[in-house]
Every structure is written in C-alpha cells, then in structure tokens.
C-alpha cells in the first residue's frame, strides 16, 4: 500500500496548522466552501438522503469534523428524531455550528481531535464530510476506520463524503450526476 510516512512531530505540526486554518476561517467557511467545492450542496444532500432511516427514526449519529454543522442540520431536517454528536477540532467551528443548530434539540457539541477521540457511545450513523483526509498516514487511517467500525451499532452505517480526482472522464461525469 502506498502512503505518506511522516514523523510524529511533523504530523503534530500539520494538525496545528489545520486547526489554525479552520479557527481563522470559521465565520466565512459557509461562503468559501460553496466557491471551493463544486456541487457541495448536492454532495451533502446525497449523503444525508442515503441514510437508511425514515423521518420518524430515532437514530444516534456522530458528525466527525462537523465544521459549521451543515451536515448535522440537514440530518435534523430529514430525521428530526436524530440525536447527534458534533465533533470538531476548531472551537470557532463548533461555535458556528451551535448557532446554526440552535433551533434543534438533542445535539451534543464537542471540541476535540477525532484522531484520539474516545468513542463513548455507539452509533447508527457515522458521517464525515471533507474532513477525514486530514488523517495523514495509512496507519492512522486504518486505526481510525477500525474505531469507527467498532462504534457502529448493528446495521449501522458510515458515510464519508469527499472530493476525489479522477483521470477517467466518464467517472467524472458519473460523480457529478
Ligand atoms: C473542510 S471542513 C468540512 C466541514 C464540514 N464537515 C462540511 O462538510 O461542511 C473540515 C473540518 O474538519 C475539521 N477537522 C480537521 N481535522 C480534524 C481532526 N483531526 N479532528 C476533528 N476535526 C477535524 C476542521 O476543523 C474543519 O472544521
């Protein structure tokens, strides 16, 4: 398996930079992301509407790297009975998500690094969008995906939405659709 090998200190430095970036960007994030990520709204809608639940389900959800809470808000709109844990490294992102989700009950906000997050609950749905690519090494990815798997309840699902680059034009069209 190909991968990036970084020394611990370099990974730590990178995460500090990631945190600072999102602390600084939090207030403008919702505007910036629409310009930066083509079809962002469609990506979020596609992910949330794929959750195998109906609008009366009391699903327990965790949103890893929740940012300003856009995915969690869409989940609460589609599945009002959902209980959601919103986790993010950047305090300012969590502050923005608190504002965005102020009207909704059953939401827990946590500031923390998902890489060393101790899952204290089990979930019907684990979601993440544009965040897990911050796991740098293959070892980190494998270890973390195992933790996610272990946190899932029976029939639980994990969705990770992100942007990928393809060299095959037909796949690019397929992804847009
Ligand atoms: C590009 S934003 C995406 C936000 C949101 N998921 C969305 O799609 O709108 C990435 C988010 O992941 C968070 N993040 C990055 N690395 C993280 C980590 N190790 N632990 C927790 N959050 C992290 C950042 O602070 C940022 O809010």
What are the phi and psi torsion angles at 139 (to 5°)?
-60, -45
CA distances from 145 to 17, 32, 118, 150 (A): 23, 29, 13, 9
pLDDT at 141 over 70: yes
Count of all residues that appear for the chain in the document: 177
Which atom from ligand 1 is nearest to the alpha carbon of 63? 6
Please answer whether residues 161 and 130 qualify as being in contact, where contact means their C-beta atoms are separated by less than 8 angstroms: yes
Q: Using CA atoms, how far apart are residues 148 and 125, in angstroms rounded to an integer? A: 10
Structural tokens at position 39: 């079809």
Task: Name every protein residue with a CB atom under 6 angstroms from any ligand 1 atom.
Answer: 18, 22, 33, 65-67, 70-71, 87-90, 93, 113-115, 129-131, 134
For the segment(s) 8-176, the CATH number from 3.40.50.150, 1.20.120.1200, 3.40.718.10, 3.40.50.1980 is: 3.40.50.150
| Structural element, H or E, at residue 123 | strand 123-129
Lowest model confidence (mean pLDDT) among 1-5, 75-79, 159-163: 1-5
Q: Write out pLDDT tens, residues 7-43.
A: 555 555 688 999 999 999 999 999 999 999 999 999 9
Residues 119, 72: Cα–Cα separation, whole Å: 18
User: Which residue CA neighbors atom 27 of ligand 1 most closely?
Assistant: 67
pLDDT reported for residue 177: 47
Please provide residue 121's backbone torsions phi and psi, each rounded to the nearest 5 degrees: -150, 170
Q: Give residue 93 CA to ligand 1 midpoint distance, Å.
A: 8
Distance CA 64, CA 131 (A): 7
Q: What is the 71 CA–ligand 1 centroid distance (Å)?
A: 12
| Closest CA to ligand 1's atom 12 | 65
- Among 130, 176, 126, 113, smallest CA distance to 152 is for 126
Ligand 1 centre and the CA of 65: distance in Å? 3
Give residue 164 CA to ligand 1 midpoint distance, Å. 17
Determine the Cα–Cα distance for residues 108 and 83; give it in Å rounded to an integer: 8
Is pTM beyond 0.85? Reply is yes
Domain residue spans of the chain:
8-176
Band (pLDDT 50/70/90 cuts) for residue 67 is very high
């Amino acid at each position: 398996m190909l991968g990036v090998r970084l020394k611990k200190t370099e990974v730590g430095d990178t995460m500090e930079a990631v945190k600072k970036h999102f602390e600084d960007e939090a207030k403008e994030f919702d505007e910036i992301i629409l310009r930066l990520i083509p079809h962002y709204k469609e990506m979020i809608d596609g992910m949330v509407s794929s959750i195998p639940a109906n609008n009366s389900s009391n699903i327990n959800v965790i949103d890893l790297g929740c940012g300003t809470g856009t995915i969690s808000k869409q989940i609460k709109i589609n599945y009002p009975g959902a209980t959601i844990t919103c986790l993010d490294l950047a305090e300012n992102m969590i502050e923005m998500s608190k504002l965005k989700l102020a009207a909704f009950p059953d939401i827990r906000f946590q500031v923390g690094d998902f890489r060393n997050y101790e899952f204290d609950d089990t979930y019907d749905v684990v979601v993440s969008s544009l965040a897990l690519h911050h796991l740098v090494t293959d070892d980190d990815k494998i270890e973390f995906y195992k933790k996610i798997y272990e946190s899932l309840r029976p029939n639980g699902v994990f969705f990770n939405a992100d942007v990928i680059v393809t060299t095959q034009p037909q796949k690019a069209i397929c992804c847009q659709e």
